[in-house]
Amino acid sequence: MNFEYSLAFAKDQDLADPLSGFRKDFLFPNQNGVPFIYLCGNSLGLQPKVAREVLEQQMSNWENLAVEGWFEGESPWMFYHKELKSLMAPIVGASPMEVCPMNTLTLNLHLLMVSFYKPQPGRFKIIMEAGAFPSDQYAIESQVRFHGYDPTDAIIEVSPRAGEYTLRTEDIVAKIAEAGAETALVLFAGINYFTGQWFDMEAITKAGHTVGAMVGFDLAHAAGNVPLSLHDWGVDFACWCSYKYQNSGPGGISGIFVHEKHFGDKTLNRFAGWWGYQEDQRFKMEKGFVPEAGADGWQVSCTQVMPMALYHASLKIFQKAGFMEGLRAKSESLTEYLIFAVNQVNIELGFVQFNIITPTEAIDRGAQVSIIAKEKGKEIFQQLVANNVLGDWREPNVIRLSPVPLYNSFEDVFRTAELMLKISKEIGL
């Protein structure tokens, strides 16, 4: 697309946008009575307007049915998670049987590593990206120690080349090949939280399997952001939070994926609980854990009804929008326009004040642009917030802006760039 750096162009793009109507389905925060341009969906998605309604419905069920709500009403709580499975599956490219909503992200990562990280002498190493989100770093380190290994020996981090911010796929694949048969697990993010780089998950999965390792992904910044094909790629397991691009509310419920090829593997360890027991026999209260078929067999605790209701509400919006297939084209254009607009700001300033470290190729990124300001980055970020543009700041020096296709517009992007230019001039750059 040939972009123009003008408000008229941005408004024309919004008028032609078939997804523009979804903006009205969300509530925008405001400051001094003025709505924010909200570009922080990579950290916490906006509240769907229907969220309050679905919570009220569940509160009503609790009020009127009490314990009978587990088996009575339009959507009995006992089986409520099944209503989400068919909506979650298209988000990550899986079958409904391969996914399950449960717990929170890092807890699920631990539970899945119980099954898929099975170190033994000669094969105990984990390969991950350097600069992974701290939760992943802490989880992996603690799992390694739990099994009696030293993280400095067991964890191999893949770093960008000198002077670069993102990883090259060939370097990831080479590192996996180099570790070879010592590799027990390859565990990457789908998208790196800091740079916004979307890793070649299919290539990483293939490389891991070539050396006999399990391969898993933390999809916190990928699920609901980019199209995924976990089943077809042969990914062994994955987990994600739902409160970023999937708008399920702060601390919203997590989801897991387990490839169907593992369903019959009785050698897999797992930490079991009553809710993962086979459903049709669960109330016999018998000893001896027999897992429910599919990903549901990894459940431990009972259905979290209120968080599931919020996730369900947002997933219905995704369904109406055509899931990721319907959203991806706008996401690519919107993010590309942001990259274009930031570069235009640099041209207007006469020097590169804003250095974009997110990959410019659409295949390598999702709905996020990470920017390093050459000078006074924190001050510029604070001024953006003061002027009703809400992105987020990541230490030591990155402004992250995430135009989300469900509720952001081309006008949002243009006005943000204009404000970046205005602030830069006002502070004397």
Tens of pLDDT, residues 313-342:
999 999 999 999 999 999 999 999 999 999
pLDDT at 97: 98
pLDDT at 1: 79
Query: Domain-by-domain residue ranges, the chain?
Result: 7-35+324-426, 54-320
φ, ψ for residue 391, nearest 5 deg: -110, -145
pLDDT at 271: 96
pLDDT at 95: 98
* Average confidence score pLDDT of the chain: 97
Q: Which residues contact 199 (CB under 8 A, 6 or more apart)?
A: 129, 167, 169, 172, 188, 189, 190, 191, 192
pTM of this prediction exceeds 0.75: yes
pLDDT at 429: 78
Which residue ranges in the chain fall short of pLDDT 70? Answer: none
Domain 54-320 matching CATH 1.10.1200.10: the answer reads no
pLDDT at 428: 84
pLDDT at 280: 93
Tens of pLDDT, residues 360-403:
999 999 999 999 999 999 999 999 999 999 999 999 899 999 99
DSSP, collapsed to helix, strand or coil, labels residue 342 as helix
Tell me, what amino acid is at 95? S
- Give the torsion through C-alpha atoms of 131, 331, 224, 208, to 10 deg: -50
pLDDT at 309: 97
Q: Give me the CATH code for the 7-35+324-426 domain, please.
A: 3.90.1150.10
